[in-house]
Amino acid sequence: MQTSFTLAQLADPNIAEADRILRACVHCGFCTATCPTYVLLGDELDSPRGRIYLIKDMLEHDRPATADVVKHIDRCLSCLACMTTCPSGVHYMHLVDHARAHIEKTYARPHIDRWLRAFLARVLPDNGLLRWALGAARLGKPFSGVFAGLGLAPVAAMLRLAPSRLPAKAAAPGTGLFPPTAPRRGRVALLTGCVSPVITPSINAAAIRVLTRHGIEVVVADAGCCGSIVHHMGREQEALSAARRQIDALTAEIEGEGLDAILVTASGCGTTVKDYGYVLRTDGAYAENALRVSRLARDISEYLRGIDLTSKRAPSGLVVAYHSACSLQHGQKIVGAPKELLCKMGFVVKDVPEGHLCCGSAGTYNILQPELARRLRERKVGNIEKLKPDVIAAGNIGCMTQIAAGTVIPVVHTVELIDWATGGPEPEALAGKRGSSAAVAPVAPAK
């Protein structure tokens, strides 16, 4: 694609990168077929190619974002299916990230939208505030229909998505050092994430048990959110601050006792951490450490595949529908590892038809674009239920919450099944459905 940025514009490294990305696009349109919003809406402007044109026009003319551009970019899930399909290697993720930051700087959203986004950006990354907000949402749940009737669909979506019960605060493993319980063969850092410790602390607890059981020392640093949530909302400075906080904490570990890997159990966060090296490439004080952190970052399934896991109990042919999170399959190109691990542990793993299509979770998308998210969830759940699985496994807390809101089939994280098969407790969501006991001792750091 031809571009016409001026030399002055190209002096901005973000514009220079956008120019490079735009020039790689050959307008072939292959990406449209796998774009969830194009599949649902059939509008070229809701396809990757259409959005690329909108972004090109906005950036070349150095124009503030218009309401129309914002509408079509907001509808993009950042699922990155288009990047998997594109034969020309167009890095849509960096382009749309830049467009979102441009929108945030130049477009005045309606008041209610601004308030809602500010609320999500403040509350979701903060464990304490999130716990409080989810407590309040539980009380408001019966009134979700009233909010929908008042035209406040995002508030109604938030209430519907809020879990009806929260695990005890003490169920989260906390921060500190978790020593191996077998001969030591490695040392890793585990990112806590921000939503997961509040609504499903069982995920990181399971990861810590699997790792320490196999001789891996785990350190959990107290650095808060990785910045993914605000990054996808175009709140660039907040995202960079969160990234720098993580990098400081992880660099201290790398330069202290050393790390073999930095593990993430939420693939949405993993994609962001793997991109720290890019987003901080022009920050002289952080570029080098950011790149080092990105290079060490691994999804939990990616790391566990390199370990000789010991299966202690065969889960008697339990049928698992494996939902491949977009951030894992498209963002990190991890497709086979989770399924291979589950098969090796004795589960019967089934691929979900139309597995390349997003479930509609996409960070805060299921709150900010509730109607499209609902349609995508219904399509996803319909495809999953055709498989008649005993359980659904996914590697991302966002997808787990989104899918669980549309089905009675239990939804668990892949690592919870691996933990169970290697000697840990049966995942709580599954035990509840099977009527077995799920009393689990809390996982606590040694110091």
- C-alpha closest to that of 216 among 262, 272, 269, 249: 262
CB of 38 to ligand SF4, least distance (A): 6
Of residues 12-71, those binding ligand SF4 (CB under 6 A): 25-31, 35-37, 48-49, 51
Per-residue DSSP letters for 42-65? --GGGSHHHHHHHHHHHHHTTPPP
> DSSP for 153-199?
HHHHHHHHHS-SS---GGGS--SEEE--SSS--EEEEE---SSHHHH
For residue 330, the minimal CB distance to ligand SF4 (Å) is 8
- Choosing from 15, 69, 77, 229, the residue that interacts with ligand SF4 (CB under 6 A) is 77
Shortest distance in whole angstroms from residue 93 CB to ligand SF4: 8
Q: Minimal distance in Å, beta carbon 273 to ligand SF4?
A: 19
Binding mask 366-395 for ligand SF4 (x = CB under 6 A): ------------------------------
Kindly tell me which residue out of 22, 58, 70, 90 binds ligand SF4, with binding defined by CB under 6 A.
Answer: 90
Binding test (CB under 6 A) with ligand SF4, winner from 69, 86, 195, 219: 86
CB atoms within 10 A of CB 355: 16
Residue 168 neighbours by CB distance under 10 Å: 8
Q: Rounded CA gap, 374 and 360, in Å?
A: 7
CB 25, CB 95: distance < 8 Å: no
Distance CA 411, CA 355 (A): 16
Which amino acid, one-letter code, is at 62?
D
Binding piece for ligand SF4, criterion CB under 6 A, among 58-66, 80-88, 201-209, 404-412: 80-88
Q: How many residues bind ligand SF4 (CB under 6 A)?
A: 25
- Residue 62, Cβ neighbours under 10 Å: how many? 14
Q: Which of residues 216-275 bind ligand SF4 (CB under 6 A)?
A: none
Binding segment toward ligand SF4, per CB under 6 A, in 82-90, 215-223, 237-245, 380-388: 82-90
Query: Which positions touch ligand SF4 (CB under 6 A)?
Result: 25-31, 35-37, 48-49, 51, 76-82, 85-86, 88, 90, 92
